[in-house]
Amino acid sequence: MTARPIAVRAVGAHLDRVDGPLKVTGRAPYAVEHGSDEGVRDHLTAWIVGAPVARGRVLRVDATRALSTAGVVSVLDHTSARRLADTEDGELAILQDDRIHHRGQVVAVVLAESAEAAREGARLVEVHVEAREHVADLDEGDLYAPEEVNAGHETDWADGDVDAARADASVVVDQEYSTPQEHNSPLEPHAVSAFWDEDRLTLWDSTQSVHGVAQTLAPMLGLEVDRVRVRAPYVGGGFGSKGLPHSPEMAAALAAMSVPGRWVRLAVTRQQMFALTGYRTETRSRIRLSAEPDGRLLAVEHDAVSQTSRLKEFAEQTATISRMMYAAPARRTTHRVAALDVAVPSWMRAPGEMPGAFALEVAMDELAVACDVDPVELRVRNEPATDPETGNPWSDRRLVECLRTGAERFGWTGRDPRAASRTEGDWHVGTGVAAATYPALWMAGNVARVESRAGGRYAVGIGAVDLGTGARTVLQQIAADALEVDVAAIDLAIGDTSLPTATVAGGSSGTASWGTAIVQTAQQFRADHGHDPLPGLHSRTEAESYPEPEKHALHSFGAVFAEVRVDRWTGEVRVSRLHGTYSVGRVVNPTTARSQLLGGLLMGLSAALHEDGVRDPRFGHVVTQDLATYHVASHADVPPDLDARWLDGADTLATPFGGRGIGEIGIVGTAAAIANAASHATGVRVRDLPVTADAFL
Ligand code: MOS
């Protein structure tokens, strides 16, 4: 049986985070705190030593001085680390040979009795290398077409004759837009506690996917997957960087396997994160919008370029948003990448949609100006009746309502469209809008377990991960409604590979995918055992595809409105108002949902004004490798008027509880709305992130 829509009671209601008290009192154990309460006193600390050059060969790792430091136990390098059974994944196959593929790559791991000794030991390890020429600059890379782009999208995609449409168009916007390299900066850096007993490997990992880590690492280590147990009860954020395992997890595993019977803790430093745990690649987009004089699009063209690593390909799907966002008879999108001698890029909140929406939504603002049409109205005029990419009907496209409702709340009506038309004291003031979207992804392969306990309680288990989003709380609400009991009657277990298989907390797919598995299993349980079951009876069901995804285009939508102030003398940019209005199906928990959306908006603001990973192409490393130089938004950046709201509704074509994912849409379009507002304030068009003072001077 497949899941059926459920009647909601707990779903949709406020519920404080069930793990809130544990977290705020410091009693929730994070990955490297594991064991602190359980008498693990003799753990070792592992410290990563990174490659000092961008490309070349390790001639020799001289650990003499490190090993003479008090507390240093051993130093692993490519000559001494355990051999992997599979080295196909170059990012993870560390310490297997002498090749250096990027600066900062793991070339040695120091094990010591304390973190201080490990760090000092790492400083004293001498890595002798033979450097080779490298390319670490996108301008110097050779562009090629990847076989596909992230999330399995087609590399190139076209519909209609864009050249003919452009030739016929009265108005053409043809511009280039760029976003810089950006780095995931979760509060908790990547961290692992690892233990090997010569038979089983146990990891307490700060990850977005316990099963994903086990399934990836086990075959590489030559182990059956059930001999790798991964636990992640509490995770301090990830934004995608913990969605896939990266080399620190392998470093911790190899380190632990070198000292059977002892716990090993490995905490990646903030600086090391800039080389080892993934990042958003720099993107460049050329957008051509061809339109009628009234702004109706005739053609949308989006050609995206980004970088990847020679070590492992990751191709940001920057242009896919332009395939489906607006109606245009002709559309064409391409992706090209250059493989450089740099660290491997990966997922960062809304990979693809975030940089793509920046380009497309600034271009739409330029088109609005060129056609003298209100930017909200321009988007309404280009609303597609069906999904332009698939031709499928939308499950629930409410972008126009988001734009109209948001405009009213924001007070958009009556806006003077002329740029640089409003000043307040020393400030130019402007407003801008951008649209947002994110696909409602549903991942196959989730299994849940429901078991009845004495006193009318139910144990519900799934290997899902709550990376700080509130997943633990909302899954409890979904389970309660699926079983038709109170939230308080649910004992939920997550974050452990000993629980049934779950897919990644990523792609805004977690709640939808895990929630559907829980609903389906709960319904199976009721069918098998009725409403008054004996304790101990249990059902375990793999969720089949939810009925409708193939027949409908499932996306969330949103409209972001920003008010920006630019100092006329210094060029300082401040966001004074930021509103997002979203259509995300049914919101499972307004408290945690609001946090997700506000967090997404602020991360978009951070990208708009601050984040800029600067690589020195001469040496191949990111020089802004800490939070002093890689700026992220701080409390002082939070607009006095910040708000996220959503339209009431439910999308039961997406999930049996009517909700769609909300983790990523908040960052989509936000930087464009801010850039558009800055352009409106000053008359200076901004096409490159971040938007900094120099643009206006
Ligand atoms: Mo998200 S970047 O898929 O964790």
Domain holding 417, by residue range, is 156-182+280-441+551-696
| Cβ of 295 less than 6 Å from ligand 1 | no
Q: Which atom of ligand 1 is closest in space to residue 349's alpha carbon?
A: 2
Q: Cα of 505 to ligand 1 centre, how many Å?
A: 7
> 668 near 434, Cβ under 8 Å?
no
pLDDT score recorded for residue 42: 86
Is the entire prediction scored with pTM above 0.95? yes
| Cβ of 348 less than 6 Å from ligand 1 | yes
Laid out side by side, the sheet with 427-439 consists of: 423-424, 427-439, 555-567, 573-583, 641-646
Q: How far apart are CA 210 and CA 227, in angstroms?
A: 13
Within a domain: residue 3?
A: no
pLDDT score recorded for residue 548: 63
| Cβ of 507 less than 6 Å from ligand 1 | yes
Q: Is 515 found in the same domain as 568?
A: no
pLDDT average per 10 residues of sequence, the chain (697 residues): 92 97 94 75 93 98 98 98 98 98 98 97 98 97 98 97 97 98 97 97 98 98 98 97 98 98 97 98 98 98 98 98 98 98 98 98 98 98 97 96 98 96 98 98 94 95 97 98 98 98 97 96 95 91 74 96 98 98 98 98 98 97 97 96 98 95 98 98 98 96
Q: Cα of 256 to ligand 1 centre, how many Å?
A: 28
> 531 near 484, Cβ under 8 Å?
yes
pLDDT score recorded for residue 40: 65
Q: Is 192 found in the same domain as 101?
A: yes
> 105 near 124, Cβ under 8 Å?
no
Within a domain: residue 35?
A: no
Q: Which atom of ligand 1 is closest in space to residue 242's alpha carbon?
A: 4
Strands in 241-296 per DSSP E: 264-267, 283-291
Our mutation pick for probing the ligand 1 site, out of 347, 467, 665, counting the most ligand atoms within 8 A of Cβ, is 347
Q: Is 646 found in the same domain as 504?
A: no
Q: Is 363 found in the same domain as 352?
A: yes
Q: Cα of 115 to ligand 1 centre, how many Å?
A: 30
CATH number at residue 537: 3.30.365.10
- CB atoms closer than 10 angstroms to residue 632: 17
DSSP label of 54 = S
Q: Is 258 found in the same domain as 308?
A: no
Q: Is 286 found in the same domain as 240?
A: no
Our mutation pick for probing the ligand 1 site, out of 279, 317, 318, 349, counting the most ligand atoms within 8 A of Cβ, is 349
| Cβ of 577 less than 6 Å from ligand 1 | no
Q: Is 533 found in the same domain as 556?
A: no
Residue 664 known to be catalytic: yes
Q: Which atom of ligand 1 is closest in space to residue 243's alpha carbon?
A: 4
| Cβ of 347 less than 6 Å from ligand 1 | yes
| Cβ of 639 less than 6 Å from ligand 1 | no
Within a domain: residue 14?
A: no
Q: How far apart are CA 233 and CA 463, in angstroms?
A: 10
Q: Is 407 found in the same domain as 263?
A: no
| Cβ of 240 less than 6 Å from ligand 1 | yes
Q: Which atom of ligand 1 is closest in space to residue 184's alpha carbon?
A: 2
- Give the chain's domain count: 3
| Cβ of 356 less than 6 Å from ligand 1 | no
Our mutation pick for probing the ligand 1 site, out of 354, 664, 667, 668, counting the most ligand atoms within 8 A of Cβ, is 664
Residue from 120, 282, 389, 664 carrying the catalytic annotation: 664
Q: Is 217 found in the same domain as 76?
A: yes
User: Positive or negative, the Cα torsion across 184, 185, 187, 189?
Assistant: positive
- In order, the DSSP letters of 470-531 are SHHHHHHHHHHHHHTS-GGGEEEE-SBTTSSP---S-TT-HHHHHHHHHHHHHHHHHHHH-S
Q: Which atom of ligand 1 is closest in space to residue 507's alpha carbon?
A: 3
Within a domain: residue 504?
A: yes
